[in-house]
Amino acid sequence: MAKIRKTASIENGLMEVLKILNEEEVKAAIGKGASYIRKCSNPDLPQQIDHNDSFLLDKACIEKGKAPPLLTSHEFMIAKEFDKIETATAKDISQILVRSTILHGKLTELIHNAQDPKSDKGETISVLEKKEINEAITDLENKIMKIKMTIDTKF
């Protein structure tokens, strides 16, 4: 029977790696097979994945054009720790969703304005525009992470 893994966990990140990389790609990345990754992803066992191995697995995923699942897991885990030390804040899912919609709109507007022929560099995106777009993406990613953590915690 499949084991349930929390969204914000190394175990879940490892299972996501196995969805992206096949046996040969795992072996090429870390010199170990997919069965090793499955063993490390077991939520009932202490984690044994080496930090360098997790980096190499994420690197292999990036080389395939996919997001790095273990980095995302680490970000979730760190964000949870920050939540523990933050003052009490309302974690109403509706409020979080509204805020994410606003951030998505801001990102869309920044990209649209940067590609406008009347912008600083015309249709080419300037360094400053790239910086603003990357900051907007990070803000949106952080909000999405809060949505996932809220759902993981409350439901």
Segment 6-40, tens digit of pLDDT:
766 888 889 999 999 999 999 999 999 999 999 98
Is the pLDDT reported for residue 80 higher than 80? no
What three-state secondary structure class fits 88? coil
pLDDT at 60 over 60: yes
Determine the Cα–Cα distance for residues 104 and 143; give it in Å rounded to an integer: 10
Sequence length of the chain is: 155
CA 100/CA 108 separation, integer angstroms: 12
- Residue 48: what pLDDT? 79
* Higher per-residue pLDDT: 52 or 90: 52
Q: What is the mean pLDDT of the chain?
A: 84
The amino acid sitting at 22 is N
Instruction: Give CA separation, 92 vs 140, 146, 148, 151, 152, in Å.
Output: 17, 11, 12, 10, 13
DSSP 64: T
